[in-house]
Chains A and B, each alone.
Chain A
Amino acid sequence: MIKFFLMVNKQGQTRLSKYYEHVEISKRTLLETEVIKSCLSRSNEQCSFIEFKDFKLIYRQYAALFIVVGVNDTENEMAIYEFIHNFVEVLDEYFSRVSELDIMFNLDKVHIILDEMVLNGCIVETNRARILAPLLILDKMSES
């Protein structure tokens, strides 16, 4: 199962973090910095899975933005790896060419999208149209 979902830029600033398992707030920042450090220290040739303490990190880089997912042993790394891409594709579709700024200023929407896709540490929806459906309804409501 997925333990946490992080979006971090290259400077190590956390753009989005979501935990599916209780972690103390004070420990979160510590964990995040450690996670980021270990991800940033890796080159392109190295594999995108890291064994980190008792769980695994799966990361993917999009321009200056890293997406890091922490999972436990039972998860299929490759599936998560592709899931990250799926997530980015959804963002891309919604924001039409997503950038870091989009994420910074529409954090609520990103969260909604993520909540649609991941629930209690499980991937629950991967169908792009369906993920975006509630969000689009919301948008329509706010417009009118």
Chain B
Amino acid sequence: MALTVVSQIFPREMIPAVLPLIEDKLQHSKEIIRRKAVLALYKFHLIAPNQVQHIHIKFRKALCDRDVGVMAASLHIYFRMIKENSSGYKDLTGSFVTILKQVVGGKLPVDFNYHSVPAPWLQIQLLRILGLLGKDDQRTSELMYDVLDESLRRAELNHNVTYGNICTWFKIQKVQKAILFECVHTVYSIYPKSELLEKAAKCIGKFVLSPKINLKYLGLKALTYVIQQDPTLALQHQMTIIECLDHPDPIIKRETLELLYRITNAQNITVIVQKMLEYLQQSKEEYIIVNLVGKIAELAEKYAPDNAWFIQTMNAVFSVGGDVMHPDIPNNFLRLLAEGFDDETEDQQLRLYAVQSYLTLLDAENVFYPQKFLQVMSWVLGEYAYLLDKETPEEVITKLYKLLTSDLVSSETKAWLLAAVTKLTPRAHSSNVVERLIQEFTVSLDTCMRQHAFELKHLRENVELMKSLLPVDKSCEDLVVDTSLSFLDGFVAEELSQGAAPYKPHHQRQEEKLSQEKVLNFEPYGLSFSSSGFTGRQSPAGISLGSDVSGNSAETALKETNSLKLDGIKKLWGKEGYLPKKEGKAGDETEAPPVPQESIIMESVDQTIVKKDQSQVLTQSKEEKEKQLLASSLFVGLGSESTINLLGKADTVSHKFRRKSKVKETKSGETTSTQNMPCSYFSSSSDVTYEDDYYLDTLQDRGDKELNKFSLSSELLDSESLTELPSAEKLSSCTESTPSLFTDNMEGLHTPSTVASVANEISLASSLLEETSEHMHSDLVEVCDNETISVSSYKIWKDDCLMVTWSVSSKSGLELKSANLEISPTENFKITEQPGCCLPVIETESIKTFQYSVQMEKPFTEGNLSGFINYQMMDTHSVQLEFSVNLSLLDFIRPLKISTENFGSLWLSFANDVKQNVKMSESQAALPSALKTLQQKLRLHVVEIIGNEGLLACQLLPSIPCLVHFRVHGDVLALWFRSSCSTLPDYLLYQCQKVMEES
């Protein structure tokens, strides 16, 4: 018996079914069963806290159980709950305190003692709970002071009393120490009280001084907690800490360092960091290195005493931490260098020192530095090498060149290095090295290197431009990047008026890409991108500007070019974009070199040049790309614009609308692929299209705002359902369908009756009649009966779910009392009870109905839903009646109304397909009749019929689409299923066969 409960503890997910049983067990007479029941509930609480919410009172009962074991078990639940929400359980503090008092006072049965310590783990658990409860709360903390004091005292006392008894001393001490430790922890985490603190501090002292290493460890750990509140305590144990630092055990050392990390200040930083670095050099484990490097870098930034030390520390950090460290560290470092402090001269010194130290480091032969370190070096050298007096830029370039040609350097680092060279070139008056470098890398196999080299080459041809592009020490100047790119507005408007396609948001393009790959109706992006190599100078600018402004979209725009050059471009974006991205993260103000370069190109050289260049190189694709880019950047600007323009009112309209549209969508069973996407995406997509459309709308019609608002929302509906359609089509449909949808929406938004009906439908409070008239439903089938009542059921095939309704009627016309229907859970179905089905009073005709909505968890052909009904007649005992209902796959199949285009894109996106030939009977050898059968019997939606082929679509509720392609050859029907679900096609095929045979 007990063991059955144990087994339930582990793998249960069907909580609702088991819950009542377990609740019963809570009242069981045997303590072990009660305890197991509580633990089972704890497990439930862990996996699904919502489902056990209603039995919190029972936990309270368990807490007050007369048996200690049960009480202890309930503590776990409380610990968990209090951790999540400590304020809700403050009232229980009192009981916890009393329990602890009893435990500490030795009131428990003797067999709970562990080496004569009363239930140590129980104490620890209680202390933990108290610690959570008393956190930052003086009033509750006050309740605890007494008991904490008591347990501290007891722990001490035990310790002393048993001192003489050598045999058991160690063990007692250990457990006791564990309790003590927890006490101390608690004392410090609750609202402080000086006396207690003092005592706790004394305890810690004992811990730290203990010869036993485990206790020492604990002591150090406790100190780390304490030290934040009371650094003076560390002073008392100074010497011990120092000893620990040189302890042979690395773990102790580690803990000590952790402690030191907490007490670091401007005075002791050098020593502490030195110790840390020493430890760092010894350790090999990656995790420790990452952790420690982060800490050192943080400390160094916070408390660095002087420049030299700082740079050197950071150098050490970089060389040890290498490539495993967190990317924030080099970023922060560079930002610090670039932004500088308040004092300008100090900045210069810092930078100068950094440059010098790097040069010396680079001078060293045969030393391998981590890539990150090299990247940092190259950036610093590129930016600040001008500060050097002695060495000319040429020498620096030579050094960088040496690195560039080395094999040990990754291509990413090479890009950094080359950028540094580019920055240095304008200052070098004549440099053969640069020439050589350009020559070498313009033929490099690495496209991004080649790109860089070309950039450099072009820039060298125009020294003036180069100087303006790469200003000295301007890396942290605020660059005004016109994110909205308003200067391009005119251009876009012009293009639009010339019939260019408007910008399409990211997701939309992706979908288009999908369809375009197959349907081949999409020309602009298909064209090759041959110009990119030649126009190297300004295409990266455009691209990374675009990427800077609207990250992904530019990238995808590029992806869509689908040409050979794609690789290079993408990489270039990665590389060029790399800097701005990183720097942008580190600090808004710091813009890394590439950005100035580009934005200056964009702004100074401006559109005219862009256009001129364009005409030089002019290929169709180029223009297209520009347009895309411009549009994409423009779009970003629009986002804000439209929110300004639009009144809050419009917003709510769209919001309301969105809800409505969802309902509508599900209602009509129109599952576009959007429905499969996560909800957040859904709303964001509608947001995006919303803005987009708004823009178009304003272009068309700026005048009538009122009308605008409505047409806007109607457009939204449109755009949502038609997201996959090419936008040209979308545009037209927007304008065309506005009137009709407009009215539709008007109803939805402003006629309360429709809203009410929608609400009705959702809540299902409406009566059966209404319900059934709205949807297809099966006939009433009697499932079971006895002499007094009969139960019949019917299915309602609602668009979004299958409704199974049981109606219980009393034959005798007597009133049924407390009739209750329970469905036994099956693994195939997800059953949700519909509200309104538990009406306590039975309707006048003594008929009571229960409604359940059933969803299929995984496809199968036929399943059985069984359950029983409990009822009580007037003044008789309760009777139980069992029944079962057959559900087939077809009950869950709904037509999927999609267009041929959608069908095409979906078709290709599904991986699972099944083909089969089905023989048709004579009577229906013709296509139309076969189709009709399928349509009627299987509830498939006919998408299109072309000759002797046809396309059908359906979906398995809630939203697994399945597509069918079929072709008639004589009397053979070739069926081809595709779906996102692997098993669905098989089952559907089976159904099809059955249907065809039957007819």
Contacts and interface: CB of A to CB of B under 8 A. Distances in A.
The judgment on whether A and B are partners is yes
Interface of A: 45-51, 53-54, 76-79, 81-83, 85-86, 115, 119-120, 122-130, 133-134, 137-138
Nearest to A79: B178
Q: Tell me which of A78, A85, A123, A125 has the highest count of chain B C-beta atoms within 10 A of its own C-beta.
A: A78
Given A79-B175, A83-B121, 18 more contacts: A47-B213, A47-B217, A47-B251, A49-B214, A76-B181, A76-B185, A77-B221, A78-B214, A79-B178, A82-B175, A119-B9, A123-B125, A124-B39, A124-B72, A125-B35, A126-B112, A126-B114, A126-B119
A76 B178 contact: yes
B559 to A, nearest CB: 33
Interface in B84-120: 111-112, 114, 119-120
A142 to B, nearest CB: 12
B297 to A, nearest CB: 20
B258 to A, nearest CB: 9
Contacts of A127: 69, 111-112, 119
19 contacts: A45-B213, A46-B213, A46-B248, A47-B251, A49-B217, A77-B218, A78-B177, A79-B178, A79-B182, A82-B178, A85-B171, A120-B46, A122-B42, A122-B76, A124-B72, A126-B119, A126-B121, A128-B111, A134-B2
Contacts of B39: 119, 124
A-B pairs, 8 with minimum CB distance:
A78-B178, A47-B213, A46-B249, A79-B178, A47-B217, A82-B175, A53-B287, A47-B214
Nearest to A56: B251
Contacts of B124: 76, 79
B114 A82 contact: yes
B178 A120 contact: no
A137 B178 contact: no
Contact of B121 (A47, A53, A123, A137): A123
B989 interface: no
Nearest to A78: B178
* Contact-size category for B: 35 or more
Contacts of A82: 114, 120, 171, 174-175, 178
A125 B76 CA distance: 11
A45 B248 contact: yes
Contacts of B255: 51
Contacts of B9: 119
Nearest to B179: A79
Interface string B247-283: 0110110110000000000000000000000000000
A51 B185 CA distance: 20
A130 B73 CA distance: 13
A45 B121 contact: no
B111 A76 contact: no
Contacts of B249: 45-47
A115 B39 CA distance: 12
Nearest to B286: A53
A22 to B, nearest CB: 12
Interface string B233-257: 0000000000000001101101100
A71 B32 CA distance: 27
Given A127-B112, A130-B69, A137 B2 contact: yes
Contacts of B177: 78
Contacts of A85: 171
B174 A78 contact: yes
Nearest to A45: B213
Interface in B1-52: 2-3, 6, 9, 32, 35, 39, 42-43, 46
Contacts of A134: 2-3, 6, 32
A77 B255 CA distance: 13
A86 B114 contact: yes
Interface string B213-227: 111111001000000
Contacts of A138: 3
Given A81-B178, A115-B6, A54 B112 contact: no
A107 to B, nearest CB: 17
Nearest to A53: B287
A46 B251 contact: yes
Contacts of B3: 134, 138
Nearest to B40: A119
A77 B207 CA distance: 14
Contacts of B122: 126
Contact of A49 (B69, B76, B125, B251): B251
Contacts of B120: 79, 82, 126
Contacts of B35: 125
A92 to B, nearest CB: 14
Given A54-B287, A115-B6, A81 B251 contact: no
A46 B212 CA distance: 9
Contacts of B288: 51
Contacts of A47: 213-214, 216-217, 249, 251-252
B254 A51 contact: yes
A115 B803 CA distance: 43
Nearest to A77: B218
Interface string B130-172: 0000000000000000000000000000000000000000010
Nearest to B207: A78
A62 to B, nearest CB: 14
A130 B121 CA distance: 15
Contact of A129 (B73, B76, B111, B251): B111
A126 B69 CA distance: 9
A129 B248 CA distance: 41
Contacts of B112: 126-127
B174 A81 contact: yes
B32 A130 contact: yes
B394 to A, nearest CB: 48
B262 to A, nearest CB: 15
Contact of B43 (A49, A78, A115, A120): A120
Contacts of A83: 121
A126 B174 CA distance: 16
Nearest to B109: A127
B8 to A, nearest CB: 12
A56 B502 CA distance: 57
A123 B112 CA distance: 14
Contact of B181 (A45, A54, A78, A125): A78
B121 A79 contact: yes
A76 B216 CA distance: 14
A10 B696 CA distance: 75
A83 B177 CA distance: 13
Contacts of A51: 251, 254-255, 288
A2 to B, nearest CB: 12
A83 B221 CA distance: 19
A111 to B, nearest CB: 11
Q: Tell me which of A50, A122, A129 has the highest count of chain B C-beta atoms within 10 A of its own C-beta.
A: A122
A51 to B, nearest CB: 6
A72 to B, nearest CB: 13
Contact of A48 (B42, B214, B248): B214
A120 B927 CA distance: 61
